[in-house]
């Protein structure tokens, strides 16, 4: 890193201000997007110049392969048009299949190259280590060397985004971009490069290339969103991380109460960190007139784990749904397996009929969540994290009729607030167990933590341990107040889903808006964790 341009630095704010001035004052409307490209290149050069080769390679390979796929499509369409009268139906079908296979091969080439780079850099050492352990257990004297690999900044995010674009071009949902610089902007747009959201080409690209004029309301809303992001990241997330980081350093030495408290705090920290970062990204993009997808929809209000994953990291969930889940669930293999099961004796029972019906979706869900787990990191604990979520979702799909039956039998009103609270609480518990594998340094430690939840609770020891973990009473006070502010804002937003709080704020008296914004800014200035007095934490999702 040449110098720190991380989203929560003054450097970044000045960088945005400068980019904003250049963008809105740029005289040639048609080429306004080049300012965004220049800013993105500068941002990446400053933050990760040593690894710029990788993003350049991904941009270039994505650009060329998308053009190749489009050219094959265009050529085949032209030929089909020419041979419309000459060829019979079978010949046309055969040709179409040939072209489809050819396009699929080209697409697979792109996926293999780019996911191959990601997999190599991110998972090679994990794979080598696991293989060496396995071979060692059989006393086989072969070991794969481990390499000193460092992940290029944002590689998971830009690889997923680029590959989504390739698949969309293959599916002819979108046209290939003929300007390599425009594609490069789509891949490297600076507000989203660090931690997403993972955007779909059709949703983002045109907005990037369109010349946006300065708009006061949009800038005001963008700024408000940035302040809100700072509030969550600097006041809550980075303060909570002081304790979580201290626990992570010596994880094995803490008892059940401390670990339980840490996991609860982690739930708050992770949400504040990730959603705060996304708010900053979206806020910056909004200033330039670009609406990026919201990655969060108050996930801790979810009534089921399925719903939670529709509200948490929405862009990753959307990507997985579009490019993994549907292709798997609708694949011939899955549908054939489902049909086969339906034909068996078991498949003719009520339970069997249901299971065979939901089999493709439940297995596809399991695979998707296994991939989500692995996406989070190269460690068995992330595999466990993915499997835990996948298995719970699979079971909830399979056992849905049973749950419905129980609820009906007990005459429970599904809209009863206590029942809803129970559902939210139940979901939160499942989520928290998943988080254990995020925080724990290894799968074994994760399992130990779960055991300690039930067997290792000791309030006195816990209080003593927690009091030595770097947070002072004033920090807890700030954490509680700030978390209540976020909770209240989330409740208001949950109740008014047709609008957003910033628009609601626009409808209040000027002095109210002024006071709210002033208090928010000053709260960040005074209570934020930043500056050299602290070791400000990186965004959690930056490492993915």
Partner 1 sequence: MKFRNYVSRTVKVSVFLLLVMVSCLILQHYFLRNMDHNSLRVDGFYQEERNSLDVVFIGASDIYTSFMPGRAYEQYGFTSYLLASESIPSEGVKTAVKEVVRTQHPGMIVIEANAFLYGSDKNESDQAHIHKFFDNVPLSFNKLEYIQKNVPIDEKWEYMFPLIKYHSLWTEYPDRLHMMASNFTLDIRGFNYLKGFSTTAQIHKPKKASLNSKLSEMNETKELEPFLKKQLTELLDYCDEQKLKVVFVRAPHYVTTDTLDRVKRSNKMAEFVNSRGYHYYTFEADAPRIGIDDKRDFYNSDHMNVYGALKFTDYLAEKILYREGLEVDPLNDAQIEMWSDTVKKTNQLYRYCDDLMTNGNDLGAQEDVLTLTSLDNYSSAPLEVNSK
Binding residues for partner 1 (CB under 8 A): 3-4, 9-11, 216, 472, 474-475, 510, 514, 517-518, 521-522, 525-534
Q: What distance in Å separates the CA atoms of residue 368 and residue 24, rounded to the nearest whole number?
A: 42
**What is the spatial distance between Cα 456 and Cα 446, in angstroms, rounded to a whole number?**
14
CB 199 within 8 A of CB 315: yes
Q: 232: closest CA among 195, 197, 271?
A: 271
Closer to partner 1 by Cβ: residue 403 or 518: 518
- Cβ neighbours of residue 65 under 8 Å, at least 6 residues apart? 106, 107, 109, 110, 166
The smaller minimum CB distance to partner 1, of residues 32 and 239, is found at 239
**Which helix or strand (DSSP H or E) is residue 113 part of?**
helix 89-137
CA–CA separation, 507 vs 197, rounded Å? 29
Find the shortest distance in angstroms from Cβ 533 to partner 1.
Answer: 6
Q: By CB neighbour count within 10 A (0-12 exposed, 13-18 middle, 19+ buried), where does 500 fall?
A: middle
Q: Closest CB to partner 1 among 139 and 511?
A: 511
For partner 1, the closer CB: 183 or 478:
478
Classify residue 1 by burial, with Cβ atoms within 10 Å: 0-12, 13-18, 19+.
exposed
Which lies closer to partner 1 via its Cβ, residue 89 or residue 509? 509
Shortest distance in whole angstroms from residue 39 CB to partner 1? 19
Distance of alpha carbon 214 from alpha carbon 289, whole angstroms? 8
Give least dist CB 526 to partner 1, A.
6
64 vs 521, beta carbon nearer partner 1: 521
118 or 529: CB nearest partner 1: 529
Q: Please name the helix (run of DSSP H) or strand (run of DSSP E) that holds residue 475, with its range, or none.
A: helix 473-495
What is the distance between the alpha carbons of residues 393 and 376, in angstroms, rounded to a whole number?
Answer: 18
Helix/strand/coil (H/E/C) assignment for every residue in 234-274? HHHHHHHHHHHHHHHHCHHHCCHHHHHHHHHHHHHHHHHHH
CB of 184 to partner 1, least distance (A): 27
- Cβ atoms of 282 and 189 within 8 Å: the answer is no
In the complex with partner 1, which residue's Cβ is closer, 216 or 418? 216
């Amino acid at each position: 890193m040449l110098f720190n341009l991380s989203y929560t630095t003054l450097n970044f704010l000045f960088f945005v201000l400068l980019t904003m001035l250049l963008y809105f004052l740029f005289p040639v409307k048609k080429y306004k997007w080049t300012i965004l490209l220049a800013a993105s290149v500068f941002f990446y050069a400053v933050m990760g110049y040593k690894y710029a080769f990788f993003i350049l390679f991904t941009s270039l390979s994505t650009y060329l392969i998308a053009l190749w796929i489009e050219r094959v499509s265009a050529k085949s369409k032209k030929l089909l048009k020419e041979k419309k009268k000459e060829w019979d139906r079978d010949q046309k079908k055969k040709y179409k299949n040939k072209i489809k296979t050819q396009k699929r091969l080209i697409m697979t080439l792109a996926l293999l190259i780019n996911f191959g780079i990601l997999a190599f850099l991110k998972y090679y050492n994990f794979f080598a280590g696991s293989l060496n352990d396995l071979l060692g257990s059989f006393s086989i004297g072969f070991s794969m060397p481990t390499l000193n690999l460092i992940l290029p900044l944002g590689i998971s995010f830009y690889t997923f985004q680029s590959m989504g674009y390739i698949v969309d071009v293959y599916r002819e949902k979108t046209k290939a971009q003929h300007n390599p610089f425009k594609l490069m902007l789509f891949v490297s747009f600076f507000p989203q490069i660090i931690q997403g959201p993972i955007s779909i080409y059709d949703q983002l690209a045109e907005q990037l290339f369109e010349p946006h004029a300065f708009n006061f309301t949009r800038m005001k809303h963008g700024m408000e969103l940035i302040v809100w992001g700072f509030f969550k990241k600097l006041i809550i997330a980075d303060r909570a991380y002081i304790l979580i980081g201290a626990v992570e350093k010596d994880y094995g030495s803490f008892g059940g109460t401390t670990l339980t408290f840490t996991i609860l705090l982690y739930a708050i920290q992770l949400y504040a960190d990730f959603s705060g970062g996304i708010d900053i990204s979206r806020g910056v993009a909004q200033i330039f007139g670009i609406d990026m997808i919201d990655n969060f929809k108050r996930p801790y209000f979810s009534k089921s784990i399925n719903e939670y994953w529709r509200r948490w990291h929405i862009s990753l969930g959307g990507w997985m749904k579009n490019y993994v889940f549907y292709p798997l669930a609708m694949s011939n293999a899955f549908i054939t397996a489902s049909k086969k099961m339906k034909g068996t004796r078991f498949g003719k029972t009520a339970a069997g009929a249901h299971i065979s019906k939901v089999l493709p979706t439940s297995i596809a869900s399991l695979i998707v969540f296994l991939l989500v787990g692995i996406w989070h990191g190269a460690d068995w604990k992330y595999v466990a994290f993915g499997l835990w979520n996948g298995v719970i979702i699979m079971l909830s799909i399979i056992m849905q009729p049973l749950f419905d039956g129980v609820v009906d039998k007990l005459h429970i009103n599904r809209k009863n607030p206590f029942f809803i609270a129970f559902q939210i609480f139940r979901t939160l518990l499942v989520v928290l167990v998943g988080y254990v594998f995020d925080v724990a340094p290894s799968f074994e430690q994760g399992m130990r933590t779960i055991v300690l939840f039930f067997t290792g609770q000791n309030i006195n020891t816990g209080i003593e341990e927690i009091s030595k973990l770097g947070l002072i009473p004033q920090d807890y006070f700030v954490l509680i107040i700030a978390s209540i502010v976020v909770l209240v804002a989330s409740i208001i937003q949950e109740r008014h889903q047709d609008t957003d709080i910033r628009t609601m704020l626009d409808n209040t008296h000027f002095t109210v808006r002024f006071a709210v914004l002033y208090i928010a800014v000053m709260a960040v200035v005074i209570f934020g964790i930043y500056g050299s007095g602290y070791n400000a934490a990186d965004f959690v999702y930056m490492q993915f």
